[in-house]
Amino acid sequence: MDRLYIVVPCYNEEEVLPETARRLRAKMTALTEAGKIAPDSRVLFVNDGSKDRTWDIIRSLHESDPLFSGLDLTRNRGHQNALLAGLMTVRDRCDMAISMDADLQDDINAVDEMVDKYLDGCDIVYGVRSSRTTDTFFKRFTAESFYRLMNFLGANVVFNHADYRLLSRRALEGLAQFKEVNLFLRGIVPMIGYRTDTVEYARGERFAGESKYPLKKMLSFAMEGITSLSTKPIRYITLLGFLIFLVSIAMLIYSVIRWAMGATIIGWASLICSVWAIGGLILLSLGVIGEYIGKIYLETKGRPRFLIRELLEEPDEKVD
Ligand code: UDP
Ligand code: MG
């Protein structure tokens, strides 16, 4: 039977943890009884340098129930890093790992379907929000604009999918090969490959405590996502430079006509042409330099160029 690990990053979550643990316990018991997961499956709480009693709670949960394990980071490193720390810790202990938030905003019942899809042979199962009716208009609007902007700027992410997903052991091993430090898991996971599927669920409200993702953090997260996945913004600069250069040619023709008609003062035609041409050329060269810097940036990430699913090969004959 396959062993499941649920990985939960926690930052100042003392208000929600006891209830989260209770619900997770019930879910894990049900899954074990249904014979879908091994009885020694676990939940790993990752304490991301919380300033409140989060770690004490995790410790006492661990003492009272072998289901719960804990991982304590030395300081706050942010959701993505905390999640990666958890996933890399369970990588050689489990057959599949599901990541979810401590506030259980992502419907825990989707876990059943995720496990079913895993048992059907999927290596990655994305949890996708079918509706955001419980989020405030502001949160919904900013979050949805976030996905649109990301895709426009070349960071291809699964729409309305946050970090609620199942990864099989070999997908985790694939993930481990991405050595980049600017971590944006939602963009990296689709690069792993294998058979993937999605599970829809309705996103609930945080049942206690408040969001650890205020607008400021969301904006820097969006920036992080775009700059760590794509060099498209640089491409747009090149494009803009090219457009302005075209405008400069149009201006050249226009000003020569105006000059021939004698409708200009001395110096205007040459001045106006140089302004446009120089502006366009500068942007264009910046873009070209940027293209190279973008290449260097992607190289420094040292991403795996391929991951192997399977090798079919007749074993070599043993020669004595
Ligand atoms: N989180 C974390 N480190 C941080 C901020 C958040 O580990 O620096 C965790 C947090 O405990 C929660 C998850 O990331 O489990 C998502 O945070 P939150 O629910 O506040 O975000 P929202 O749902 O409002 O986007
Ligand atoms: Mg939340």
CATH of the domain at 82: 3.90.550.10
CA of 243 to the centre of ligand 1 (A): 42
d(Cα 15, Cα 21) in Å, to the nearest integer?
Answer: 11
Say yes or no: 294 and 313 in one domain. no
Q: Tell me if 221 is assigned to some domain.
A: no
Query: How many domains are contained in the chain?
Result: 2
> Which of 213, 215, 221 to mutate to test ligand 1, by most ligand atoms within 8 A of the CB atom?
213
Same domain, 152 and 166: yes
Decide if 220 is inside a domain: no
Tell whether 222 is covered by a domain.
no
The reply to whether ligand 1 has any atom less than 6 angstroms from the CB of 123 is no
Domain co-membership, 202 together with 236: no
Residue 151: CB within 6 Å of ligand 1? no
In this structure, are 145 and 257 located in the same domain?
Answer: no
pTM, rounded to two decimals: 0.83
Query: pLDDT (tens digit, 0 to 9) for every residue of the chain, 320 residues total?
Result: 899 999 999 999 999 999 999 999 999 999 999 999 999 999 999 999 999 999 999 999 999 999 999 999 999 999 999 999 999 999 999 999 999 999 888 889 999 999 999 999 999 999 998 876 667 788 788 878 878 888 888 777 888 888 999 999 999 999 999 998 888 898 899 999 999 999 999 887 777 777 777 778 878 888 888 888 888 888 898 899 889 889 888 988 888 888 888 877 778 778 888 888 888 889 889 999 999 999 999 899 989 999 988 888 888 887 66
From the CA atom positions of the chain, what is the Rg in Å? Answer: 26
Atom of ligand 1 nearest to the CA of 48: 7
Tell me if 223 is assigned to some domain.
no
Residue 165 and residue 288 in one domain: no
- Do 121 and 201 share a domain, yes or no? yes
In a domain, 225, yes or no: no
Q: Whose Cα sits closest to atom 25 in ligand 1?
A: 213
Is the C-beta atom of 86 inside 6 A of ligand 1?
Answer: no
Q: What's the pLDDT at 132? A: 67
Do 150 and 85 sit in the same domain of this protein?
yes
Q: Are strands 124-131 and 165-168 parallel, antiparallel or unpaired?
A: antiparallel
Q: What is the pLDDT of residue 55?
A: 95
Q: Is 46 found in the same domain as 121?
A: yes
- The residue whose CA has the least distance to atom 14 of ligand 1 is 79
In a domain, 47, yes or no: yes
- Flag whether 127 is in a domain: yes
Range of the domain at 269: 232-301
Question: Is ligand 1 within 6 A of the CB of residue 54?
Answer: no
Clarify whether residues 14 and 111 are in a common domain: yes
Q: Is residue 219 part of a domain?
A: no
140 and 48 in a single domain? The answer is yes
| Distance from Cα 197 to the centre of ligand 1, integer Å | 24
- Do residues 89 and 140 both lie within one domain? yes
Ligand 1 atom showing the smallest separation from residue 212 Cα:
20
Ligand 1, residues 79, 134, 165, 216: which to mutate, most atoms within 8 A of Cβ?
Answer: 79
Q: Verify that 296 and 310 share a domain, yes or no.
A: no
